[in-house]
């Protein structure tokens, strides 16, 4: 007689932590257990994040202008905004880079309509980054400029299911030739809050930030770190900024699907570099 023992992985979320968060005074955001993460283990959840991205030696650009008090591409160009789902792969770096590239081609009328470009091609083919494991944001921007990406229709996303980068494809999924679309450049505009605001008038902005335990309990409101350890790092897309009840915030699009946060978006406190959100951010140029 054989006895097979299995080790059950415990859920990442627990009610003790949730109750502690609910009892913190002056919270600007609502803690709960997001539907997107229900029943997920710590290992599975951390698989969606990346190690701390290395800083590049790319010189920062300080943009100067007169941006409005509030601005949001969700309102200015809703037809260009699309929430995606990276699945069980730490490919946030590719989703944020390719997503902002797609946004900005649509915003600047390079494409006649919104076009989904291929995160999978970048995950599989960018040899300077590491697929589902880790990446440096400046390197994925360089990949967009030097190599480019095809459309998602050509090379569709698979790594969210497999958890693997996969081989770099030589043809589209339907065996037709791959056509690559490139950016015309990029700038790290994270020199100041004002510089980011000015950059946002030209398009959406890729950014990275540090993820603490409490972020994974976010379900709405203006997030600011309150408690918990660092569990990884993440890359997202800043799409706007505003202020509510005296609290300034960034509008940010995530890659956790529309049933996470505020329909796939979240707000993070602005002007304090909370979670390093104002340390490294890239504005992708398109023509």
Active-site residue (options: 234, 251, 275, 281): 234
C-alpha distances in Å from residue 20, one per residue of 17, 27, 56 = 5, 12, 38
Active-site residue (options: 104, 152, 251, 254): 254
Residue 92 is among the residues annotated as catalytic for this protein? yes
Q: How many residues does the chain have?
A: 287
Residue 254 is among the residues annotated as catalytic for this protein? yes
Residue 57 is among the residues annotated as catalytic for this protein? no
Active-site residue (options: 92, 172, 275, 281): 92
* Residues that are catalytic: 92, 234, 254
């Amino acid at each position: 007689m054989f006895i097979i023992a299995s080790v059950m992985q415990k859920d990442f979320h627990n009610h003790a932590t949730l109750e502690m968060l609910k009892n913190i005074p002056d919270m600007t955001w609502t803690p709960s257990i997001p539907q997107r993460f229900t029943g997920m283990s710590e290992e599975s959840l951390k698989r969606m994040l990346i190690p701390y991205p290395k800083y590049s030696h790319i010189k920062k650009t300080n943009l100067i202008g007169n941006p409005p008090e509030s601005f949001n591409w969700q309102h200015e160009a809703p037809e260009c905004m699309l929430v995606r789902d990276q699945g069980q792969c730490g490919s946030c770096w590719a989703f944020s880079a390719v997503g902002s590239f797609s946004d900005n081609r649509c915003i600047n009328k390079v494409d006649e309509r919104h076009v989904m470009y291929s995160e999978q091609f970048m995950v599989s083919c960018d040899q300077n980054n590491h697929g589902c494991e880790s990446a440096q944001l400046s390197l994925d921007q360089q990949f967009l400029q030097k190599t480019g990406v095809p459309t998602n229709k050509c090379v569709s996303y698979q790594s969210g299911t497999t958890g693997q980068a996969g081989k770099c494809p030589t043809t589209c999924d339907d065996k037709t030739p791959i056509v690559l679309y490139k950016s015309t450049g990029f700038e790290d505009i994270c020199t100041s809050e004002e510089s980011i605001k000015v950059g946002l008038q030209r398009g959406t902005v890729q950014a990275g930030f540090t993820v603490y335990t409490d972020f994974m309990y976010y379900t709405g409101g203006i997030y600011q770190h309150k408690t918990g350890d660092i569990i990884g790092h993440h890359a997202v897309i800043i799409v706007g900024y505003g202020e509510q009840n005296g609290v300034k915030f960034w509008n940010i699009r995530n890659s956790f699907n529309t049933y996470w946060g505020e329909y796939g978006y979240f707000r993070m406190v602005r002007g304090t570099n909370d979670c390093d959100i104002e340390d490294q951010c890239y504005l992708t140029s398109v023509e």
